[in-house]
């Protein structure tokens, strides 16, 4: 089985640790995951803002990059949903039958990480160790567009040392919503503030989800509140072991001067 | 009417409104979930309901002509109204022909949509709302903010105050010792309305459904005020959107089972009134039906958006919507607020008005609306479609919007991974610059950008910290380390 990592544009540019965590995790589970360097983005930012013509070349790049793989795994419910449910719309817009055929070929092979682990690899215990108190936010697209159900919870419940707390009103949107976060910033922040309040009600130290874009939004609100809660992608928790990575997932910084500052704080 | 983001801002700051809405919507959500959970074949029922409405819309012309024939055969007068002005004119004319200076009204979205009360007022005809929540809205000189519960933004203390202040001006005053107990408030409304029911010669209603084969109109309600209006006056005028038609009586079955559970969270609504034209010696002896287009044919012509006409006005999508819950109904600038309003208004009005064009964007596309819709309207799909129509309407602008320029630039960099690599290297540099200025640290230690000026950036960082871009993108790391293999096999080097 040839497996490709679709890292997503947000993870590529902003959260490379999540991509590395997926690589580490899949290799540990015996999957030699490849990274097709031609990949860029799933085109969701364009599609969901209404720029369908602009989405066409992006979808074309997507199907070219992932042609010939048996499975495409991505640490994002939202991008998996975009590939599975929106690429057909973009192909129709292009009027290109070849692109439509390529999309029909590629779309069904795209799996969100928890789907890939549970459905394709058939594992719920990935041998992870994460000694922290965690609460899980089911992101909207993973929940309602993909229907990942309780797969992420099953994976988390099997992580040694992890204490999983129930998030009140878990299924309500956090307010990120892509360009909604900027176009309707006030409403978006109101929703984020309520989500942050529910996270704080749990007393958890870590908020986990399967989408870094949503975590970036809720985490940004929590950070501004000095809430003392950090946000960590599901992949980074599942990749953690006793041997451990250097430093806490969702923590360290690419900037040495901050690394130093953190060292001094400890 | 300001565009949604501006209109929402004032609602977000209204603490009473926020509290009332959060409380009311979460209560109705829980009730709905409980009664829907009782129905094992709910999904089959949804599919059946969607199929009934879809089939009816597919041959709408045929069914409407048949409805007209059936109604006429049963002694009703059928009028066709192309738009709000025509519909209002017809209703006013019928009322004036009977010398009426007042009409009683059953709660009706269609008459709200066309602004009937205001139009009748210009003709010197008072229109009395008899639905409790509509009465609250009318007495408070307010606008409805919800399809099912027009006064959802009001709480009992506010209702008491409105009744005490306004009832006496238009009829029987509220008792001086009025409390804010719901039963006491309902009692005061009942006393106030009773004299209007008994006095009125003309009633105006809408309809939930219109059956083509029999010429039967259906009104579904909870309070019984509708039953009073539909049976007591001599003349009944019903304003019915053309999408309300179903071919046969049997097709009401799934719809009447879906509606109450989705709407009020009841297994069955208390009152379902059906009437078929004129029945000698029983009920109104003169019956008029105004079939209303007012943009519905425009919606019908939209291949993707057409499904919005399946809507049975249950309001489940409003109660499920996290945006509606915070921004409230008035922010949508229409009697159709919430997710359904965000698609129905643009579909019926077309593009070009900034307020209408802002509605498809008034959603985080979370999908909660589609999940609860009893007739399976894929609202997120229609929202995205309508966004593309808004964007397309600006494609020939001489000065493109900043957003369009940004999207074109994004499409350029996402069209080729090499170009994306350059952009990411630039963002890594920008990240290093950003963290030198106004540096903050995210919980866990990653460095972040605090407040950044400029469009977009300010909208994000006004209330949210933003992680600084890492020094090295994932793709750069993969290339440098051969996917971690050249990094001593580690995938945790160069943490960001």
- CA torsion through residues A148, A150, A156, A162, sign: positive
What CA–CA distance (Å, rounded) separates B71 from B275? Answer: 10
pLDDT, greater one: A262 or B455 = B455
For A215, B245, B437, B481, the CA distances from A44, given in Å and listed in that order, are 17, 37, 31, 29
CB contact under 8 A, A140 and B427: no
Interface touch B367/A229, C-beta < 8 Å:
no
Report the range of poorest mean pLDDT among A85-94, B143-152, B334-343, B350-359: B143-152
Q: How far is B339 from chain A (nearest CA, A)?
A: 14
**Tokens, residue B439:** 């540096």
| Residues A170-187, mean pLDDT to the nearest whole number | 97
Asked if residue B424 has pLDDT above 70, the reply is yes
Option in A11, A61, A180 nearest B414 (CB) = A61
- Which residues are CB-contacts of A121 (< 8 A; sequence separation ≥ 6)? A29, A31
Q: Is residue A23 within 8 Å of B491, Cβ to Cβ? A: yes
| Average pLDDT estimate for B388-394 | 97
Indicate whether A258 pLDDT > 90.
no
- Whose CA is closest to A187, among B431, B9, B129? B9
Q: Is the pLDDT of residue B439 over 70?
A: no
Q: Per the CB < 8 Å rule, is A187 touching B327?
A: yes
DSSP single-letter state for residue B361: G
Residue A211: predicted pLDDT: 98
Q: Do B360 and A50 touch (CB under 8 A)?
A: yes
**Looking at the predicted structure, is the pLDDT value of residue B252 above 50?**
yes
pLDDT of B454 reads: 79
pLDDT surpassing 60 at residue B56: yes
Q: For residue A248, what pLDDT is reported?
A: 53
Average pLDDT over residues A54-75: 97
Which one of A37, A38, A46 has the shortest CB-CB distance to B411? Answer: A46
Check CB contact under 8 Å for A227 and B443.
yes
For residue A147, what pLDDT is reported? 97
CA-to-CA dists, residue B55 to B156, B211, B310, angstroms: 43, 14, 10
Could you report the per-residue pLDDT of B295-314, keeping only the tens digit for each? 999 999 999 999 999 999 99
pLDDT of B446 above 60: yes
Q: What is the pLDDT of residue B452?
A: 82
Q: Is the pLDDT of residue B494 over 60?
A: no
Q: Which of B2, B322, B416 to mutate to test the interface with A (most CBs of A within 10 A)?
A: B322
User: Chain-wide mean pLDDT for chain A?
Assistant: 92
Task: Give the pLDDT band of residue B495 (cuts 50, 70, 90).
Answer: very low
Task: Please list the residues that pair with B439 across neighbouring strands.
Answer: B449
CB A251 to CB B441 under 8 A?
no
Q: Which of B16-30, B115-129, B159-173, B441-455 has the weakest average pLDDT? A: B441-455
Tell me how close the Cα of A103 comes to any Cα of chain B, in angstroms: 16
Chain A hits for B415, CB-CB cut-off 8 Å, are 40, 57-58, 60-61
Residue B271 has pLDDT above 90, yes or no: yes
Mean pLDDT computed over A171-178: 97
Chain A residues in contact with B448 by the CB 8 A cut-off are: 220, 223
d(CA B112, CA B238): 13
Query: What percent of chain B stands above pLDDT 70?
Result: 97
Yes or no, beta carbons of B473 and A173 under 8 Å apart = no
pLDDT band at A41 (very low <50, low <70, confident <90, very high): very high
**What was the pLDDT predicted at B492?**
52
**Helices assigned H by DSSP within B74-206:** 84-97, 109-114, 116-122, 132-139, 156-170, 182-199
Asked if the model's pLDDT at residue B488 lies above 70, the reply is no
Contact B239, B108 (CB under 8 A): yes
For CA atoms B459, B462, B464, B468, the dihedral sign is: positive
Q: Are residues A259 and A46 in contact, defined by beta-carbon separation less than 8 angstroms?
A: no
Q: Please tell me which residue of chain A has the smallest CA distance to B9.
A: A186
**Beta-carbon separation of A54 and B424 below 8 A:** no
pLDDT tens, position by position, B80-94: 999 999 999 999 999
Share of chain A above pLDDT 90, in %: 91
Token readout for B298 is 């425009």
The pLDDT assigned to B348 comes to: 98
User: What pLDDT does B457 receive?
Assistant: 85
Closest residue to A184, CB basis, from B362, B408, B445: B362
Residue A262 has pLDDT above 80, yes or no: no
Span B126-130, average pLDDT: 97
pLDDT above 90 (res B436): no
Q: What is the pLDDT of residues B145-204, one digit of tens each?
A: 999 999 999 999 999 999 999 999 999 999 999 999 999 999 999 999 999 999 999 999
The share of chain A scoring above pLDDT 70, in percent, equals 91
Task: Taking residues B275-301, report their average pLDDT.
Answer: 97
Q: Which chain B residues are closer than 8 Å to A89 by Cβ?
A: 384
Over 60: is that where the pLDDT of B489 sits? no
Helical (H) or strand (E) element with B289:
strand B286-292
Find the mean pLDDT for residues A84-102: 97
Task: Lowest mean pLDDT of A243-247, B76-80, B159-163, B403-407, name the range.
Answer: A243-247
The set of residues, in sequence order, having a beta carbon less than 8 Å from that of A152 and lying 6+ positions away, is: A114, A136, A138, A142, A210, A234
> For B472, which of A16, A224, A230 is closest by C-beta distance?
A16
Residue B425 tokens read as 């290297």
Q: What is the pLDDT of residues A210-224, one digit of tens each?
A: 999 999 999 999 999
C-alpha B377/C-alpha B406 separation (Å) is 32
Checking if the pLDDT of B106 tops 50, the result is yes
The verdict on a CB contact (< 8 Å) between B5 and A52 is: no
**Which of B362, B370, B474 is the closest to A11 by Cβ?**
B474
The pLDDT value given to residue A81? 98
Residue identified by tokens 């139009």 is: B119
Interface A:B, Cβ pairs < 8 A: 280
Comparing alpha-carbon positions, the chain B residue that sits nearest to A249 is B444
Q: Do A258 and B415 touch (CB under 8 A)?
A: no
Q: Residue A253's pLDDT is what?
A: 37
pLDDT level of residue A261 (50, 70, 90 thresholds): very low
Between these two residues, A70 and B432, which has the higher pLDDT value?
A: A70
B279, B274, B231, B281: which is closest to B75 by C-alpha?
B279
In Å, how far is B492's CA from the nearest CA of chain A? 6
Residue A264 pLDDT: 35
The predicted pLDDT at position B173 comes to 97
pLDDT band of residue B38 (cuts 50, 70, 90) is very high
B390 neighbourhood in chain A, CB within 8 Å: 50
Q: Report residue B127 as tokens.
A: 């229109």
CA neighbor of B296 nearest in space, from B345, B223, B225 = B345
H-run or E-run covering B450: none
């Amino acid at each position: 089985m040839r497996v490709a990592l679709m890292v997503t544009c947000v993870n590529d540019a902003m959260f490379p640790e999540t991509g590395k965590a997926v690589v580490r995790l899949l290799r540990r589970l015996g999957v030699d995951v490849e990274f097709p360097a031609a990949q860029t983005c799933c085109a969701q930012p364009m599609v969901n803002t209404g720029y369908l013509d602009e989405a066409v070349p992006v979808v074309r790049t997507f199907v070219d990059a992932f042609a010939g793989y048996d499975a495409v795994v991505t640490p994002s419910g939202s991008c998996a949903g975009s590939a599975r449910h929106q690429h057909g719309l973009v192909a129709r817009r292009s009027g290109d039958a070849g692109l439509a055929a390529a999309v029909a070929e590629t779309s069904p092979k795209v799996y969100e990480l928890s789907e890939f682990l549970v459905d394709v690899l058939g594992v719920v215990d990935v041998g992870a160790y994460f000694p922290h108190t965690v609460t899980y936010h089911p992101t909207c697209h993973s929940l309602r567009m993909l229907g990942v159900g309780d797969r992420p919870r099953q994976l988390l419940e099997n992580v040694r040392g992890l204490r999983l707390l129930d998030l009140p009103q878990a299924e309500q949107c956090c307010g990120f919503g892509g360009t909604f976060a900027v176009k309707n910033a006030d409403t978006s922040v109101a929703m984020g503030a309520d989500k942050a309040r529910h996270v704080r009600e749990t007393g958890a130290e870590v908020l986990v989800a399967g989408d870094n874009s949503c975590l970036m939004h809720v985490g940004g609100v929590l950070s501004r509140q000095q809430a003392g809660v950090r946000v960590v992608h599901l992949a980074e928790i599942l990749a953690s072991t006793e041997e451990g990575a250097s430093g806490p997932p969702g923590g360290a910084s690419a900037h040495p001067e901050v690394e130093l500052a953190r060292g001094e704080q400890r | 009417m300001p565009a949604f983001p501006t209109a929402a801002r004032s609602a977000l700051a209204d603490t009473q409104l926020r509290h009332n809405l959060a409380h009311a919507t979460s209560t109705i959500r829980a009730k709905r979930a409980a009664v829907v959970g009782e129905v094992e074949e709910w999904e089959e029922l949804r599919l059946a309901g969607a199929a009934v409405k879809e089939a009816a819309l597919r041959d709408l012309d045929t069914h409407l002509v048949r409805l007209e024939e059936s109604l006429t055969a049963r002694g009703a007068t059928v009028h066709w109204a192309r738009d709000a002005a025509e519909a209002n004119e017809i209703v006013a004319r019928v009322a004036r022909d009977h010398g009426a200076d007042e009409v009683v009204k059953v709660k009706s979205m269609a008459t709200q949509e066309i602004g009937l009360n205001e139009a009748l007022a210009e003709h010197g005809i008072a229109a009395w709302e008899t639905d409790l929540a509509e009465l609250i809205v009318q007495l408070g000189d307010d606008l409805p903010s919800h399809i099912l519960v027009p006064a959802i933004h009001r709480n009992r203390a506010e209702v008491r105050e409105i009744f005490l202040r306004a009832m006496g001006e238009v009829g029987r005053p509220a008792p001086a010792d009025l409390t804010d107990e719901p039963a006491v408030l309902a009692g005061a409304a009942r006393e106030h309305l009773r004299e209007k029911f008994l006095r009125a010669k003309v009633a105006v209603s809408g309809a939930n459904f219109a059956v083509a084969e029999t010429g039967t109109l259906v009104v579904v309600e909870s309070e019984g005020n509708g039953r009073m209006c539909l049976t007591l006056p001599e003349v009944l005028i019903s304003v019915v959107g053309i999408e309300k038609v179903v071919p046969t009586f049997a097709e009401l079955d799934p719809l009447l089972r879906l509606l109450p559970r989705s709407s009020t969270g009841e297994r069955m609504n208390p009152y379902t009134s059906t009437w078929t034209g004129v029945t000698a010696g029983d009920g109104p002896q003169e019956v008029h039906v105004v079939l209303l287009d007012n943009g519905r044919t425009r919606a019908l012509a939209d291949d993707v958006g057409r499904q919005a006409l399946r809507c049975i006005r249950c309001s489940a999508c409003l109660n499920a919507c996290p945006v509606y819950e915070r921004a409230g109904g008035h922010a949508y600038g229409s009697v159709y607020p919430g997710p359904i309003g965000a698609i129905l208004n643009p579909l019926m009005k077309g593009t070009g008005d900034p307020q209408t064009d802002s509605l498809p964007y008034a959603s985080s596309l979370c999908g909660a609306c589609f999940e609860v819709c009893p007739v399976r309207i894929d609202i997120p799909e229609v929202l995205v479609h309508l966004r593309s129509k808004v964007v397309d309407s600006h494609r020939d602008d001489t000065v493109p919007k900043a957003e369009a320029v940004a999207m074109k630039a994004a499409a350029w960099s996402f069209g080729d991974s090499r170009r994306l690599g350059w952009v990411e290297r630039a963002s890594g540099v920008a990240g290093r610059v950003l963290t030198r200025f106004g540096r903050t640290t995210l919980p866990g230690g990653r460095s972040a950008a605090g407040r950044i000026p400029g469009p977009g950036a300010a909208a994000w960082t006004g209330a949210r910290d933003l992680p600084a871009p890492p020094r090295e993108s994932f793709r750069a790391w993969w290339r440098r380390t051969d996917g971690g293999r050249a990094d001593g096999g580690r995938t945790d080097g160069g943490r960001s």
